[in-house]
Amino acid sequence: MTPTFLRPTSRSQKRKALDKAFTIFCAFAAIIAVSILFVLIGKVLMDGLARVSPQFIKSMPSQMFPDKAGILSPLVGSLYVMALTVLFVVPVGIAAAVYLEEFTPKKTPFVRFIQVNIANLAGVPSIVYGMLGLTLFVSVMGLGKSVLTGALTMSILVLPMVILVTQEALKAVPKYYRESSLALGTTQWQTIRRIVLPTALPGILTGIILSASRAIGETAPLIVVGAVGFVTFLPTGLDSRYTVLPLQILYWIGQPKPEFRTAAAAAIIVLSDMILILNSAAIIIRARAQKKL
């Protein structure tokens, strides 16, 4: 017979019941989310997988012949925008994060003000950045509706994310790394360049790759700053007109012929594969960094 003091009380039984109910609820929510994802993926694969081929990737879009339409110009446009976005945002984002994390040990009201605004900018809807890009780059600076304008707009969009992720990577570097380096007579900049940044590099690269994957999948800001839905030529410079894969998908979905929707599904598969590759690269870099630590 169990002693009285070892018997579970009604309160502990209630807590265990609530804990079990919460676990079941979370598991049920996870199953629903994964089920919806698999349904969407299955639908897209059923509609567009047969259309995916090297010829589909190498062909230009078409308004008249959906069976011959391809994604070459929007694919190249997406790669242009993503590459320029990374080129613009990496030096600015890393430099800002280094200043906020390494050169301002005392968080003054000004630094806290900047930090709060960066965190707020990371949650601003992307269409707002499109309006900012239209006003600043198209109207004020006169860059026109070009690849450069789209890349600069996307750079502003992902810049807060790069800064925040880089700051977290710098925070993860042990403090005694800095102290040991400074004790050997190095300057603060030498410590940052030779010790802190190389140690934080895997986390920084993860943030950059995730930012690039977000940039390649955004649509709303580029519509506002002048990206078009149908282009049959490749961009030849920073001032060229362009389109991107999400816009091409949107354009095809709006066409009356059902064959265009099949082409849109195939383009979704290609775009999803690109984002999956970028996210997988970020996961691999993070996993290798954790093993080294």
- The one-letter amino acid at 117: N
Give CA–CA dist 151/197, Å, rounded: 26
Q: Do residues 211 and 162 touch, judged by C-beta distance below 8 A?
A: yes
Q: Do residues 247 and 178 touch, judged by C-beta distance below 8 A?
A: no
Short-list 69, 59, 11, 26, CA closest to 257: 69
Contacts 24+ apart (CB under 8 A), 30-37: none
Residue 31 in this model has a pLDDT that exceeds 90: yes
Mean pLDDT of 181-196: 87
Residue 262 in this model has a pLDDT that exceeds 70: yes
Residue 290 confidence (pLDDT): 63
More confident: 106 or 103? 103
Structure tokens at 243: 């389109």
Task: Tell me the per-residue pLDDT of 231-257, one tens digit each, with 9 for 90 and over.
Answer: 888 888 888 888 888 888 888 888 888
Cα of first residue to Cα of last residue in the chain, in angstroms, is 51
Q: DSSP H helical segments within the chain, as ranges?
A: 10-48, 54-58, 72-102, 109-121, 126-133, 147-171, 175-183, 188-191, 197-217, 220-224, 245-253, 258-292
Match 């308004």 to its residue by tokens: 63
Around Cβ 237, how many Cβ atoms within 10 Å? 9
Residues in the chain: 293
Residue 277 confidence (pLDDT): 86
Around Cβ 180, how many Cβ atoms within 10 Å? 13
Residues 6+ apart with CB under 8 A from 196: 102, 170, 173, 177, 178
What would you measure as the largest C-alpha separation in the chain, in angstroms? 86
Percent of the chain with pLDDT over 70: 95
Structure tokens at 283: 């996961």
Match 């301002």 to its residue by tokens: 104
Residues 6+ apart with CB under 8 A from 169: 200, 201, 202, 203, 204, 206, 207
Residue 4 confidence (pLDDT): 57
Residue 35 confidence (pLDDT): 92
Mean pLDDT of 36-62: 87
Residue 142 in this model has a pLDDT that exceeds 90: no
Give CA–CA dist 192/197, Å, rounded: 6
